Structure 1
Amino acid sequence: MISRRKTVMSVAAAVSMAMMFAGCGAGGNSADQKDDGSMMTVTVYDDLANYQGVQKGWFAKLVKDKFNMKLNYISPNVAGGGSTLFDTRSAAGNLGDIIITGYGSGRGSKLVRAKLIDDMTPYLSGMSNIKKHKDATDALNRQIGQKSGVWAIPGSVSTRKPTVAGEGLEPTFGPYVRWDLYKAIGYPEINTLEDLLPVMKGMQDKARAESGDNSIYAMSLFKDWDGNMMNNVKQPACYYGYDEMGFVLAKADGSDFESITQKDGIYDRVLKFFNEAQRQGLVDPESTTQNYDTMNTKYKNGKVLFSFWPWLGQAAYNTNENRAAGKGFMIAPLKDQKIFSYGATPNGGTTMIALGSKARNKQRLVKFIDWLYSSEGVYDSGAQTGGAAGPKDLNWTVKDGKPVLTDFGSKVLNGGKANVPTKWGSGSYTDGISQLNFPTELVSDIDPGTGYSFNATLWPSEIEKANDSPLNKDWSEHMGGAKTTMEYLEKNKMIDIAPGATYVQPDEDSRISTLRGSVKTEIVNDSWKAVFAKSDDEFQKIVDGMRTQTDGLGMKQVLDFDMKNAKDQDKARKAIVREYSKSGADAASK
């Protein structure tokens, strides 16, 4: 997931300096200042934003009309320099008026101790949307060492059970193939991961023969997201219920915890699969040098036939035109798959939104935060973060008691470009979306006002439209009549849901970090060498050498740390299931 998840850095020295300045600053004095309602510019320190500067467009107009505020984003992602921006602003004693950041690795508790964020409790009268998430704010308090107060609200909060999939129509991971070419070679059976090899070979041969283009490859890889391991190798492991925790691949149900260097383990299996694909000429030779954007362009141009994720292949290639022509990526019927799925998160994720201690007009800011957790706020602020339908009356309306997209909404939510009507401001719809990049609630959750999801792709009207395309019709006919990927996976027990618990990894000491740096470099480099080995003997020599080298570099010490974290995460998942079951039983008895 997606996954381009960002680990937020925590720097004790900067926060320690903030503690020294905290006693000298204005601190909470601004709470006593009367708000005259005049226009105010709000500094939003946002670790998730990919934009820096003042919010523009329709979302800016909406915030101005409702709160008479301008949002000015401070974004480490844009500013660069790692944690420098956080360090500098923390040391000055003022991180921002509104703060969006991760609370793991001790960061949340340090922000409280340094008096960089304020307890929102004095401002919560009438704030029903924040109050409805009391369980989530209490859980966050436990993580940051606070016994009372509302110091922040976590993102991605869900009203659904932690044992249901948190995704929408598609899982985060899955073996997606160019269905039109899979159809062209006769829908061959795919019993195991290894059975994909002859299928991909047939698809590649067919595509090249039809187009005369020998630059088409079944698979294309990239290095951008490599971390503790070769990221691309991890993805098929997710098809069998595994996800990563450092150097550990852990099953969603807690039944298995493997080192990525384990002989004949799942990582080993996928390395062999990739190597065999490469030796059959199925892997793009530019994989070792290209970045994600270059590879993504190849998907858009029909040059790659297999996708690790729906949000890559489908997003790039499944245009309305291609789907109407029966072309596009759909999940393959891999018979032994048990795909890892992230469960819904009743207590939210590991990022939070907080009130800066030096902010003016705190009541107005808390009203804004409360609005973000309202149904309207989820629709309007969630347009960037993966599927919220956007503003009512612009993108959608209610017809015969059900939500439906307007012509404008259908266009802009399916990749089209359009300027917003004058009453909504000015400029293009895309340029005006919220730059917060912070999902307050899961967009796959249900809007109590409509009875349907915040995500338009889950509406009956949109599912009906999607299934009317030749591509979807043919896929459904060959997948037991399933109307969606999730329906197919759930019906065939091919999904493994990791209960949606909020687990925050503890700080790792400098010794572990140093060892990890050396070990992961060896693993990543040797993994790429193994994928491009020219024989079984060369492959095995590289993989065996990787195990020997990493053992000598301190793999065991780091693995012990990661293994404990993986098992603690599993305990947290089991605990949230028990907690939710108990609260459900208590509610039923009242």
Structure 2
Amino acid sequence: MKLTRLAAGALVGSLAAMSLAGCSLITGDAKPEGSGESADAKPFPKEWEEPITIDVFDGLANYMGIQSGWFGKIVKDKFNMELNIIAPNVAGGGDTLYNTRVAAGELGDLIITDKGEKLDELIEGGLVQDASKYYPVMESASEFDAAVEKLNEGKDGVYAFPTSVSGIKPTEPSEGLEPTFGPYVRWDYYAELGYPEVGTLEDLLPILKQMQDAHPTGDNGQPAYALSLFKDWDGNFMNNAKQPATYYGYDEMGFVLAQADGSDFQSILDDDSAYVRSLRFFQQASEMGLVDPESTTQNYDTMFTKYQNGQVLYSFWPWLGAAAYNTPEHVAEGKGFGMVNMKDQKIFSYGAEVYGGKQILAIGSKAEDPERVAAFIDWLYSPEGAYANGAQTGASAGPEGLNWEINADGEPELTEFGYEALLSGENEVPAEWGGGTYRDGVSALNVPVVLPADIDPNTGFPYNYTFWPSFQESQQTAFSKDWSEHMGGATSTMDFLKKNNQITVGAGGGYTSPPDSSEIETLRNQVKAKIVEFSWKMSFAKDEAEFDKLLKQLQDTAAGLGYDKVYEFDLGKAKDQDEARKAVAKEFG
């Protein structure tokens, strides 16, 4: 097995010029078991005569119904096929819809679900079929043969295909020009203060206080706060309190915080854990009047609107603050969210997954036309499919001819339509491309099959348009120039983090976490409810003494409910994940 990849460090370079080398294809010397050449293997038809509608059961989709707009038009034109998206996220009821359809013996023609236990259950229950007879002619999917082989290891056929698969070195960041996490502030307000030095997380508080005092209202005249929180994503703990831990190289595994390089594993409830540190940060901010009082009742959408209105001054992620506020109009005026140089940060980054991410694609056992579903899956791995399907994440450039074209220099460049579509999503799509707004036509699958940072072999540039020199040149604004000038001339956030050794990568090892036993699940549900409850109370404690009292109560309560047993289980998973990361780094390093 071998990996042809981007040269290390080549993903992020100058905004004006990049050195992009190699080819983003994973190739394997052996086929998955059961996938050998078949005597009856024939190329897929160039045209499909009978129109069909397939059911796509998609655990990630946020849309229910027939795929419409430009992506639906592409699929219809290529495969004479419509996609009927069945989305448990929209239907509600958690796993109810999944369990109901499984019990009926038919989940969908195309299934997008988690690998590991869920996939194994579907195979054992006869709900997905072996695609071995189609795989020999799936030319695009087989370019990622090592990932397909790994996913189907130990199985007697080809039952699933990986998503988010990448040919980038697994020890390289997968994100692009921006990391997933980072301390982002309203840069224009930070500039007004003279760009004060930020040594640690706690050093942000007096700076945010000055910013809020100087700008107590948003663009809409409503109160503005340094921090605005939400509860939607709380699970094993208070989600917002996990985020600052990522600035110091930690990511979660249940009740464990694990360093990207495996050098440390923490119980989230330890007195000196990064999680408790975050809660203390929130408490101090609350005591200073910096936390939105609606944080305990609002949802993500309400909070996002506040970012759009300039009512929040700090963001945990670039895809929150910057996505909401860094409009072309704002950045032209020098306004926007930018990452500050927090001297002690070592931001966690997810390494590229050479074996694919958590989700998989599978063909349902009762698919009306399994060959056509296989052809569609294969197309998703092709450059055309990667551009079109990957546009859902806002990273891939979308369809050639509509969103982008090859310029006179032989390089990809966004069209005027594409630039507007990718930055706003509200412009009308020409009728010949499907009509409707661009945003309404994006792929409802909601998972990239090929990582957008990977290289299109036809152009030599990533599917992610933000890497293109033509796009980067167009982004030279008053905001970007000021940010770069005060960040050592860095051309992007990732460029700065790499040059200053402020990023740490959890190698993409394709680890699949084992499920909780019924006992662990019961204990976890009891404990996590208390952790979330007390974490919010601690975040709004009136002073440090009350915070410490609540922390002790939480630790004692959690211990009495079986926290230690769940923690030990999670610690074992965290260490297994670290072994997988080290193994893949050695294999491809």
Q: Give the alignment's TM-score, normalised by structure 1.
A: 0.90
Structure 1 letter corresponding to 2:72: A
Matched residues in 2 for 1:424 and 1:209: separation? 43
1:168 partnered with 2:168: no
Distance 2:473 2:281 in 1: 37
1:110 aligns with 2:118: no
Q: Deviation per CA, 1:80-131: give whole Å up to 9, x if none.
A: 1211221122122211111111123x11111111111111110123311111
Show the counterpart of 2:49.
37
Question: 1:211: how far off?
Answer: 7.8
Counterpart-to-counterpart distance in 1, 2:224 and 2:97: 43
Distance 1:194 1:361 in 2: 58
Map of 1:88 onto structure 2 = 100
Q: Aligned residue for 1:527? A: 535
Provide the rounded CA distance (Å) in 1 between the counterparts of 2:506 and 2:414. 32
Q: 1:122 to 1:224 in 2, by over 3 A?
A: same
Whether the 8 Å contact between 2:230 and 2:300 is mirrored in structure 1 is: yes
Contact 2:217 2:224 in 1 (8 A): no
Q: How does 1:43-82 map to 2 (within 5 A)?
A: 43-82=55-94
CA distance in 2, matches of 1:430, 1:405: 17
4+ long deviations beyond 6 Å: 209-212
* Contact persistence 2:218–2:309 (CA under 8 A): no
Structure 1 CA distance for aligned equivalents of residues 518 and 563 of structure 2 = 15
Instruction: Tell whether 2:575 aligns with 1:537.
Output: no
Deviation at 1:172, TM superposition (A): 0.4
Deviation at 1:434, TM superposition (A): 1.3
Does the 8 A contact of 2:254 with 2:570 survive in 1?
Answer: yes
Change (3 A) 1:213 1:432: closer
Q: Which residue of 438, 450, 454 maps to 2:463?
A: 454
Residue 208 of structure 1 and its aligned partner are, at CA, apart by 2.5
The superposition leaves residues 369-396 of structure 1 with CA deviations (integer Å, 9 ceiling, x where unpaired) of 1001000001011111231100001000
Inter-partner Cα distance in structure 2 for 1:199 and 1:83: 45
2:8 maps to what in 1?
none
Asked whether the 8 Å contact 2:184–2:314 carries over to 1, the reply is yes
Q: Which residue of 2 aligns with 1:5?
A: none
Query: Partners in 2 of 1:247 and 1:125 — Cα distance?
Result: 43
Residues 55 and 272 of structure 1, relative CA distance in 2, 3 Å threshold: same
**Which of the numbers 350, 364, 382 marks the counterpart of 1:374?**
382
Name the residue aligned to 2:265: 257
The answer to whether the aligner puts 1:406 opposite 2:418 as a matched pair is no
Residue type at the aligned position of 2:73:
K
Aligned to 1:297, the other structure's residue is in SS state helix
> What pairs with 1:149-164 in structure 2 (closer than 5 Å)?
149-164=157-172
Query: What is the CA distance between 1:298 and its match in structure 2?
Result: 0.8
Q: CA separation of 1:464/1:212 partners in 2, compared to 1, >3 Å: closer, same or farther?
A: closer
Aligned letter for 1:117? V
Q: Select the residue among 299, 316, 336 that pairs with 2:324.
A: 316
What are structure 1's unaligned runs of at least 5 residues?
Answer: 1-30, 582-590
User: How much is the aligned-residue C-alpha RMSD, in angstroms?
Assistant: 1.7
Matches of 1:326 and 1:274, distance apart in 2: 29
1:273 aligns with 2:281: yes
Preserved CA contact (<8 Å) 1:101 1:352:
yes
Asked if structure 2 preserves the Cα contact closer than 8 Å seen for 1:185 and 1:206, the reply is no
| TM-fit CA distance, 1:76 | 0.9
Equivalenced residue count is 544
**Alpha-carbon shift at residue 37 of structure 1 (Å):** 2.6
AA of the residue aligned to 2:420? K
Match 1:383 to one of 391, 408, 413? 391
Alpha-carbon distance in 2 for matches of 1:425, 1:211:
36
Q: Which residue of 1 aligns with 2:145?
A: 134
Distance (Å, rounded) in 1 between the aligned partners of 2:222 and 2:449: 46
Alignment counterpart, residue 327 of structure 1, candidates 332, 335, 346 = 335
Distance 1:210 1:220 in 2: 13
Q: Which amino acid aligns with 2:320?
A: L
Q: Is the 8 A contact 1:386 1:443 kept in 2?
A: no
Within the candidate set 96, 114, 136, 1:125 is matched to 136
